[in-house]
Amino acid sequence: MLSGFFNYDNPVWRFIGKFWDVLIINLLWIVCSIPVFTIGASTTAMYYVTLRLARDDDGYTIRSFFKSFRENFRQATAIWLIFLVTGALLAFDIYYFVRLASVSTFRTVMITVFLAMAFIWTAMFTYVFPLQSRFYNPVKRTIFNSFFMSIRHVFNTIGMLAVDGIIVFVALTYVPQLTIFGVALIAFFNSYLFNSIFKRYMPKEEKPADMELRPLFADEEEKPLDTGKTS
């Protein structure tokens, strides 16, 4: 019995091992995000690894992280900068109408509109980097896919955002030890749901090794492209 308990293949130890990987991923994410403009690439790399962990796809955590960071750097950085600018504009608009604009029906309507846009922005931001890590697509289509999927799976999206909020609340109030896992813990839990969602868009006729090489929602005339991603 004891030999079975201490076997690495034991589900308990595998679960503990995943949280060790999550800790390493969080440290890598922090270091690689320090220049700020690299946050997109580091977040994509983080999801590349956590999606694999959630699929029980064994691999080298550090090597996989930097592999994805390098391969997705240009597109992920472009996506991050787009979301950074649009997010800053939304935050300013909400601040303006909440704090500076005079009380009126127009003010109420505009606050409602911008809050709805902020929800859509948050939902898209939640999806866009996992999509970038899992599928090959141009920047424009990846952003469109993040909008399409977050709306199509809106109940999953709301549930995911709610769980993320609960994790942050618990970590900051009741269990501060969770903060050592940082954003990687959120990505890890999100990855289980993302894997179930992404699975619906995988072409069943393709072999597993080729699944990540085909553009998501590709036009018929597009062909699979070898990006070097293996997951």
Tokens 């868009």 belong to 201
Q: Could you report the per-residue pLDDT of 93-151, keeping only the tens digit for each?
A: 999 988 877 778 888 999 999 999 999 999 999 999 999 999 999 999 999 999 999 99
pTM: 0.83
Measured in whole angstroms, the distance separating CA 58 from the mean position of its chain's CA atoms is: 19
Q: Could you report the per-residue pLDDT of 57-67, keeping only the tens digit for each?
A: 877 899 999 99
Please tell me the predicted confidence (pLDDT) of residue 63. Answer: 95
Cα(61)–Cα(99) distance, integer angstroms = 45
Q: How many residues does the chain have?
A: 231
CB 22 within 8 A of CB 188: yes
Question: How many percent of the chain have pLDDT more than 70?
Answer: 82
Sequential DSSP letters for the chain: -HHHHTSTTSHHHHHHHHHHHHHHHHHHHHHHHTTSTTHHHHHHHHHHHHHHHHTT----HHHHHHHHHHHTHHHHHHHHHHHHHHHHHHHHHHHIIIIISPSSHHHHHHHHHHHHHHHHHHHHHHHHHHHHHHS---HHHHHHHHHHHHHHTHHHHHHHHHHHHHHHHHHHHT-GGGGGGHHHHHHHHHHHHHHHHHGGGS-TTS-GGGGGGSPTT--TT------S---
